[in-house]
């Protein structure tokens, strides 16, 4: 089998890249080691930057997003019970959209299925070959049979633990990482959200977040140590802890209920450099990870594949390699700015094991500066709604 672009991974980044290329007449095959149902079962956040919304519209998969997604004009930050709203629309004329990553993936899957483009699910033992030349290939096993896919380019969209980054020759890749000494314990509950917009809360007991998936389904988080186990947290214990960390009005307004999903996610910052190796490109979580505090993970992935799609379309339409040559530098410039913002949000909102009284005063001063300075508030709004690329 042969195609122009082999895409490894059928998550939102791989599917979006496939859709953008398909719309431009560039043939792709997507290989995914999991089943379609498994991919759709992954629970992920879904705060979409305005640029991501525009990119999904460009891909032709925005109809349900606009019908069911929740447009947020701003966000609320709370520090030891003092709550302040930042109005993004008023500050910079931009917004964000709350629409679950699972739903984005579903929309992209359905569009690809409807078009008849090839996706191979449950592709086992995927291996990448000869991407340092002009005839790369991908080998895999499906239903016990070995297959080889010849292609012009390979796009590694298969996540942090995928085969793509692991296939880069030793010594060719530099990585940067920070592992945070805590995680987020999150629950999903079929109750209306406590607020129309997200509430990020700092408390001496730890961080908390009130968010949502829909007008009837809410997602809540509290910061916990990495030693904590999900089994130790009953719903009753979770709700009690959440109430302690948010302001009084929010605590009184919470509509509690039995959790339908509960998990602990560790926090990590990670960047790999460069992101191009001959005819292999890394994108999304294969290239970088951000803590969820700044809501940048899916948005960075979308930016990556948006830039890569433009570069590949340019190559086939104009026989120009300018876009693919500049891909890594262009993407990494935005990645590091998003890493900075996510690190900053994490730093001011969480309680660190080594945070002393001076450190908490600095966190409080940062919050007060945000509240009192329009310039600082505009910077928050600009970064949260998405920097240009």
Q: Could you list the active site residues?
A: 72, 200, 292, 296, 384
- Long-range pairs for 246-253: beta carbons < 8 A, 24 or more residues apart: 246/78, 246/81, 246/199, 246/201, 246/203, 246/208, 246/210, 247/78, 247/81, 247/82, 247/83, 247/201, 248/81, 249/83, 250/78, 250/83, 250/194, 250/195, 250/199, 250/201, 250/210, 253/194, 253/195
The widest CA-to-CA distance across the chain, in whole angstroms, is: 64
Q: Of all helices (H) and strands (E), which one includes residue 320?
A: none
93 φ, ψ to 5°?
Answer: 75, 25
Q: In whole angstroms, give the CA distance from residue 185 to residue 320.
A: 47
Q: In whole angstroms, give the CA distance from residue 105 to residue 110.
A: 9
Cα–Cα distance list, 39 to 5, 12, 33, 35, 288 (Å) = 21, 10, 10, 6, 20
Q: In whole angstroms, give the CA distance from residue 342 to residue 296.
A: 7
Q: Answer whether 272's CB lies under 8 Å from 126's CB.
A: no
Q: In whole angstroms, give the CA distance from residue 112 to residue 104.
A: 12
Residue 274 tokens, joined: 């460069």
155 φ, ψ to 5°?
Answer: -110, 115
Closest alpha carbon to 347 in 371, 364, 372, 368: 364
Q: In whole angstroms, give the CA distance from residue 160 to residue 28.
A: 22
User: Would you give the distance in Å from CA 180 to the centre of its chain?
Assistant: 17
Between helix 322-349 and helix 297-318 the angle, nearest 10°, is 170
């Amino acid at each position: 089998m042969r195609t122009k672009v082999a895409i490894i991974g059928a998550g939102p980044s791989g599917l979006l890249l496939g859709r953008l290329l398909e719309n431009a007449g560039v043939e792709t095959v997507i290989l995914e080691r999991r089943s379609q149902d498994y991919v759709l079962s992954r629970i992920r956040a879904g705060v979409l930057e305005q640029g991501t919304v525009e990119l999904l519209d460009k891909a032709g998969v925005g109809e349900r997003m606009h019908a069911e997604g929740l447009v947020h004009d701003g966000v609320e930050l709370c520090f030891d019970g003092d709550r302040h709203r930042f109005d993004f629309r008023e500050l910079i004329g931009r917004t964000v959209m709350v629409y679950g990553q699972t739903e984005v993936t579903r929309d992209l899957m359905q569009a690809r299925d409807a078009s008849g483009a090839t996706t191979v699910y449950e592709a086992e033992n995927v291996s990448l070959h000869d991407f340092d030349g002009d005839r790369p290939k991908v080998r895999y096993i499906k239903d016990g049979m070995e297959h080889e896919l010849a292609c012009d380019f390979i796009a590694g969209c298969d996540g942090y633990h995928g085969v793509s980054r692991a296939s880069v020759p030793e010594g060719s890749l530099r990585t940067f990482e920070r592992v945070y000494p805590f995680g987020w314990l999150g629950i999903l509950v079929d109750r209306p959200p406590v607020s129309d917009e997200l509430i990020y809360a700092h408390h001496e007991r730890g961080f908390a977040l009130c968010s949502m998936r829909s007008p009837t389904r809410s997602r809540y988080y509290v910061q916990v140590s990495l030693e904590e186990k999900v089994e130790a947290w009953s719903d009753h214990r979770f709700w009690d802890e959440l109430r302690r960390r948010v302001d009084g009005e929010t605590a009184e307004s919470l509509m509690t209920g039995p959790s339908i999903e509960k998990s602990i996610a560790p926090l990590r910052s990670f960047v790999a450099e460069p992101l191009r190796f001959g005819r292999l490109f890394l994108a999304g979580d294969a290239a970088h990870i951000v803590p969820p505090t700044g809501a940048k993970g899916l948005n960075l992935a979308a930016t990556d594949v948006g830039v890569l799609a433009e570069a590949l379309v340019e190559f086939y339409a104009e026989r120009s390699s300018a876009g693919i040559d500049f891909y890594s530098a262009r993407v990494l410039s935005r990645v590091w700015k998003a890493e900075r913002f996510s690190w900053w949000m994490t730093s001011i909102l969480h309680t660190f094991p080594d945070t002393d009284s001076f450190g908490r005063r600095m966190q409080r001063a940062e919050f007060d500066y945000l509240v009192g300075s329009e310039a600082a508030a505009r910077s928050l709004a600009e970064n949260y709604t998405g920097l240009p690329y």
